[in-house]
């Protein structure tokens, strides 16, 4: 019984992590209709920034996390202004080719600067180990991930649904021409949204170093997971990817625990079944575009 709860806990933590990593992609793909396969590169950038700050400059881990967000967002905004915005109107194939090229460049760049070995971020002692809660083993680090990611999700949902910026963004997505006719600065809204999505990825990258491992191949290794989250969740809201992340996280952990021989297939089987049942994802709009 307790091992079921421990697995559930691990699954939720893993799912939350996937969500933070992938939700930026859901935003660019779903809201801006841009296929950004280089999303993982921003996550990696955040992770490496955090590693350098903590391990080499002696920053406390919690001070470095916001910096991981900020730096990934900054890189995001620079690239958006310089490169990405020229591709918004291009075909999806062009976008895929461009961003996959960018991914390979990021891999080579990080390999060149930091070397190809896997790196770790030194964690404060308070985040290490596990404690028992009514017999259920709770990993401290994973608990922190759940708290941070949970708060982020609530915050994001509030911003999108309740604030002026949220309604502008939704207007800009639904009909860019009408929105700009109403005085909304559409390119600015997109740039900001893009940067925010990159920042979230950066934060996710910093958080995931401990669990998923961080090396220059991060963007390629986890691209598939991000895409699964977005396709299964549907990309029209952030609730979809959120629930999809949780489902996949719990499914993956439970699958590997209970049927270790089949473990790696569980996540893909779930994806196939869900997509046969709902081709546009759990919360997809039918044939939106």
Q: Which is nearer to another protein, 176 or 205 (CB)?
A: 205
Binding mask 26-55 for another protein (x = CB under 8 A): ------------------------------
Q: Which stretch binds another protein (CB under 8 A): 36-44, 77-85, 104-112, 152-160?
A: 104-112
Q: Please identify, using beta-carbon distances, which residue of 105 and 108 lies nearer to another protein.
A: 108
Report d(CA 69, CA 205) in Å as an integer: 9
Nearest to residue 140, comparing CAs of 152, 124, 120?
124
Taking the complex as a whole, the smallest distance from the CB of residue 72 to another protein amounts, in Å, to: 20
Q: Site mask, another protein, residues 63-102, x = CB under 8 A? A: ----------------------------------------
Best CA proximity match to 75, nearest among 112, 48, 108: 48
Nearest distance, CB of residue 217 and another protein, angstroms: 6
State yes or no: residue 10 binds another protein (CB under 8 A).
yes
Question: Pick from 148, 176, 194, 210: which binds another protein (CB under 8 A)?
Answer: 210
Query: Which of 126, 163, 221, 279 forms a contact with another protein (CB under 8 A)?
Result: 221
Give min distance, CB of 256 to another protein, in A. Answer: 4
Asked if 6 touches another protein (CB under 8 A), the answer is yes
Residue 213 touching another protein (CB under 8 A): yes
Window of 6-14, 37-45, 144-152, 280-288 that interacts with another protein by CB under 8 A: 6-14
Does 260 engage in binding with another protein (CB under 8 A)?
yes
Tell me: does residue 253 bind another protein (CB under 8 A): yes
Closest CA to 4 of 268, 257, 280: 257
Report if residue 254 touches another protein, rule: CB under 8 A: yes
Tell me which of 85, 217, 227, 239 binds another protein, using CB under 8 A: 217
**Residue 7 interacting with another protein (CB under 8 A):** yes
Of 145 and 186, nearer to another protein (C-beta) is 145
Interaction between residue 118 and another protein (CB under 8 A)? yes
SS (H, E, C) the chain: CHHHHHHHHHHHHHHHHHHHHHHHHHHHHHHCCCCCCCHHHHHHHHHHHHHHHHHHCCCCHHHHHHHHHHHHHHHHHHHHHHCHHHHCCCCHHHHHHHHHHHHHHHHHHHHHHHCCCCECCCCCHHHCCEEEECCEEEEHHHHHHHHHHHHHHHHHHHHHHHCHHHHHHHHHHHCHHHHHHCCCCHHHHHHHHHHHHHHHHHHHHHHHHHHHCECCCHHHHHHHHHHHHHHHHCCCCCHHHHHHHHHHHHHHHHHHHHCCCCHHHHHHHHHHHHHHHCCCCCCCCCCCC
Question: Minimum Å distance from CB 27 to another protein?
Answer: 23
By the 8 A CB rule, do 88 and 184 touch?
no
Residues 6+ apart with CB under 8 A from 160: 166, 169, 170, 237, 238
Q: Which residues bind another protein (CB under 8 A)?
A: 3, 6-7, 10, 14, 108, 111-112, 114-120, 128-130, 137, 139, 141, 210-213, 215, 217, 221-222, 225, 252-257, 260-261, 263-264
């Amino acid at each position: 019984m307790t091992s079921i709860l421990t697995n559930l806990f691990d699954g939720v933590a893993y799912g939350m992590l996937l969500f933070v990593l992938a939700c930026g992609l859901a935003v660019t793909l779903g809201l801006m209709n841009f296929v950004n396969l280089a999303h993982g590169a921003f996550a990696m950038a955040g992770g490496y920034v955090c590693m350098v700050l903590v391990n080499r400059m002696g920053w406390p881990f919690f001070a470095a996390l916001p910096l991981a967000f900020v730096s990934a967002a900054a890189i995001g905004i620079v690239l958006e202004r310089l490169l990405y915005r020229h591709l918004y109107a291009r075909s999806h194939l062009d976008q895929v080719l461009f961003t996959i090229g960018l991914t390979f460049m990021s891999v080579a760049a990080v390999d060149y600067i930091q070397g190809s070995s896997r790196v770790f971020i030194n964690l404060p002692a308070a985040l290490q180990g596990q404690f028992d809660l009514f017999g259920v083993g709770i990993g401290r680090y994973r608990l922190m991930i759940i708290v941070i990611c949970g708060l982020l999700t609530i915050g994001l949902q509030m911003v999108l649904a309740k604030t002026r910026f949220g309604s502008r963004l939704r207007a800009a997505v639904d009909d860019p021409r009408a929105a700009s006719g109403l005085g909304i600065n559409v390119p600015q809204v997109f740039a900001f949204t893009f940067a925010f999505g990159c920042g979230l990825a950066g934060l996710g990258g910093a958080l995931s170093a401990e669990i998923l491992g961080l090396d220059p191949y991060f963007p390629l290794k986890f691209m598939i997971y991000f895409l699964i989250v977005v396709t299964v969740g549907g990309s029209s809201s952030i609730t979809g990817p959120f629930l999809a992340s949780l489902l996949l996280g719990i499914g993956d952990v439970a699958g590997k625990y209970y049927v270790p021989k089949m473990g790696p297939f569980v996540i893909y089987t779930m994806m196939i079944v869900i997509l046969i049942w709902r081709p546009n994802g759990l919360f997809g709009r039918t044939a939106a575009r």
